[in-house]
A and B are shown apart, each in its own frame.
Chain A
Amino acid sequence: MHSKKAPLPLTIAAFGTLLFLHVPMLIIFLYTFTPDETTYTFPLPGFTTKWFAIAWGRADLWRSLTLSLQVATIATISALILGTLAAAAVYRSNFFGRESISFLLVLPIALPGIVSGIALRTAMGGFDIPFSFWTIVIGHATFCVVVVYNNVLARFRRTSTSMIEASMDLGANSFQTFRYVVLPNIATALLAGGMLAFALSFDEVIVTTFTAGQQTTLPIWIFSQLTRPRDRPVTNVVATFVIIITFIPIFLAQRLSASSSDTEGETK
C-alpha cells in the first residue's frame, strides 16, 4: 500500500469513470416519474408515481418475471452441480487435458453470445427439439457453469489439503469429510457463485432470443421495448426493478468474496 496521496487529476479521473458507470442507471430511475408517455423529454415535464401501479397491474409482466425467475433458479442449480464437480476434479487430480477444462468452460462467455445462441438453435432445430422452457434453461446453464467453477476452484486452491487429510486421519469417511470439512469451506464460494450465476441468467437476452420459442422472459420483454417502444414509462419501471433485483445478489456475492479476501467472480 502506498502511503503517498494520489495526484489530484488521477483521483478526479478515477471517480469520474466511476460516475460514468453509475449515473446512467440512476437516470432510468429518474424517468420512472415522468408523466411523458411518448418521448424522453428532459427536464421532466412533471412528476407522477402512477407508472408503478400501472406496471404492477400488468399480467404480461408478471408472467415474464415468473418465467425468468424459474429459468434462473434451475439454471443456477445445474451450474452449481456441474461447476463444483468440474472444480473438484481439476483441483484434486492431474489428468490429461486438465488445462483445457478452464478453456472449455470459459468458451460460452468468451465467444459472442450470438454464436452460442445460433449454435444451440441450429442443434435444437436439427434434432427437432421443440423450443420450450427447458431449451432456455439448457442455454443458460452453459454460461453459468464457469461462474460457479471459477469461484469454487479459487476457494479450493486456498483450502489446504491438510484439513482434508486430518479429517480422514481422524477416521471420517469421504462423505463425512465432504459434509463437515469441504462443504463448510466452500459454502460461501458456492453462495457467491450461485448468486452471480442467478444474476447472469436472470438478465440474459442474446442466447435466450435464440433458444426461446413463444416464451417471453423479462429481458426479452425489455428487448422488444428497446426496438419498438410501446410502453416507455412501464419499461422504465421494469428496468428499475431489474436493476434492484440483480443488485442484491451481486452486492451480496461481492461482499462474500471480499470478506474472505477472494478476488474471484469478477469476470463474467
Chain B
Amino acid sequence: MLNKLSTYFYQRPRLVLFLFLAPPLLYMLVVYLGSLFLLLINSFYYIDDFSGLIIREFTLRTYAQIFSPANREIFARTATMAFFVTITSAIISFPLAYYIAKYASRRLKTWLLIGVTIPLWSSYLVRVYSWKLILAQEGILSYFINLFGLNGVLQWILSFESIGGSSLALSPLGMFIVFVYIWLPYMIIPVQTALERVPNSLVEAASDLGAKPLQTFRTVILPMAFPGVIAGSIFTFSLTLGDFIIPLAVGNSKFFIGQAVYSYQGTAGNIPLAAAMTMGPVVIMIIYLLIARRLGAFDAL
C-alpha cells in the first residue's frame, strides 16, 4: 500500500511539489500578505471627524494628513535616529566581527559567536528593561559618571536640545544608546560572515604590495565587507523605524513612527491614518530589501 502510494508520488513530482508548497504558501500569502494588503486598502479609507467612523471610500486625504508638519517631523525624527543607529552599529560591530573572523582560534570562535547570538535571540524586552535600571537618574551609570567626576560633561551634553533632556533616561541620547545596544548583534553577525569570506591571501597581498594597514582596510577589507554591512543594516534600520517599545520606555514625549501608529490605532481608533503611516516604513524597507538583494546581501544573512 505504502509502496504504491510512494510510486504514485514518485511519478508525479509536480503534485508532491504542490503538496509541499501549498500549506506554507497559503499561510504566508493569505494570512500575512493578505493582512498587509488589507492594511494597504485601509490606508485609502478615511475617518469621519464627527462620527469617528471609518468611511470606506477611496481617498487620498489620509495620506495628505501624513504630510502635516507634525507627522513630517515624526518621520524625520525616526529616520534620523534609524540612520545614526545603523551607522554607529556598523562602526562598533567591526572590531568584534573582524576579531572573530580573522584572529579567533576555532574554539574561541565558537564561543564568541555564541556570545553574540545569545543577546540577539534573548528577550528583546528584558534587554530594553535592563537599560531602565542602568540609565535611571539614581542608577548605576550616573553613579559611575559621578565617581569619575564627569557629571559636568554629561550635563553639558544633555543641554543640547536635539539629543538631550532632563536626564539620560528621558533623552534621545539615552534612546540612541539603547537602540544601538539592542540591534548591534544583528549587525555583528552579517559583518562577521562577510569578513569571513575575505581571503587572508588578499590581505597579505595588499600589504606585500606596500599598502599600509589602514589602506588595506579601506581598499580591500571594507569593500568586501560591505554586503555584510548592508545585510545588517536591513535589520538595524528597519527595526529602529518601527519600534515603539524603546521610545515608550526610554525616550521623552516626542513621538516616533511606531508610537504614532500605536496611538492612532489604539486610543484614537484611527486605523486608516495608522495604516497610512506604516506604509512609510513598508515602502522604505521593500526598496531597501530589493537593493540589498541586488548587492548580494542576502548571501551574507
Give residues in A with beta carbon < 8 Å to B.
1-2, 4-6, 10-11, 13-14, 17-18, 20-22, 24-25, 27-28, 31, 39-43, 81-83, 85-86, 88-89, 92-93, 95, 101-108, 110-116, 118-123, 125-126, 138, 141-142, 145, 149, 173-175, 196, 199-200, 202-203, 205-206, 209-210, 219, 222-223, 225-227, 229, 235-236, 239, 242-243, 246-247, 250-251, 253-255, 258, 263, 265-268
Contacts and interface: CB of A to CB of B under 8 A. Distances in A.
30 contacts: A1-B106, A4-B103, A6-B103, A14-B100, A17-B95, A22-B119, A25-B122, A28-B130, A28-B133, A41-B139, A81-B23, A82-B23, A82-B27, A85-B20, A85-B23, A104-B25, A104-B28, A105-B28, A113-B239, A118-B265, A119-B36, A120-B31, A122-B42, A123-B39, A175-B2, A210-B265, A226-B248, A246-B122, A250-B121, A258-B110
Nearest to B102: A2
A2 B123 contact: no
B171 interface: no
For the complex of A and B, the 4 pairs showing the least CB-CB separation, nearest first, are A112-B242, A173-B6, A13-B95, A14-B99
A10 B130 contact: no
Given A122-B271, A246-B123, A251-B114, A40 B238 contact: no
A259 to B, nearest CB: 9
Contacts of A83: 24
A235 B298 CA distance: 38
A41 B138 contact: yes
Given A120-B35, A258-B113, A267-B301, 12 more contacts: A24-B134, A39-B138, A85-B21, A93-B13, A107-B33, A112-B242, A118-B278, A119-B38, A173-B6, A203-B124, A219-B123, A268-B121
A18 B289 CA distance: 28
Contacts of B181: 20-21, 24
B58 interface: no
Contacts of B139: 40-42
Interface string B13-44: 10001001101110111011111101100100
Given A24-B181, A247-B118, A122 B275 contact: yes
A40 B115 contact: no
B136 A88 contact: no
Nearest to B300: A267
Interface stretch (B59-67, B157-165, B182-190, B219-227): B182-190
A92 B15 CA distance: 13
Contacts, number: 295
B114 A21 contact: no
Nearest to A177: B6
Main secondary structure of the interface of A (DSSP, over half): helix
Given A105-B28, A122-B42, A246-B122, A114 B92 contact: no
Contact of B129 (A28, A116, A174): A28
Nearest to A123: B35
A86 B140 contact: no
B132 A40 contact: yes
B274 A42 contact: no
A8 to B, nearest CB: 11
Given A18-B112, A175-B6, A115 B103 contact: no
A267 B24 contact: no
B6 A251 contact: no
A17 B17 contact: no
Nearest to A19: B115
B114 A258 contact: yes
Contacts of A226: 125, 128-129, 132, 245, 248-249
B96 A18 contact: yes
B133 A31 contact: yes
Contacts of A116: 32, 35-36
A16 to B, nearest CB: 8
A24 B214 CA distance: 33
B121 A196 contact: yes
Contact of B123 (A40, A92, A93, A242): A242
B242 A111 contact: yes
B127 interface: yes
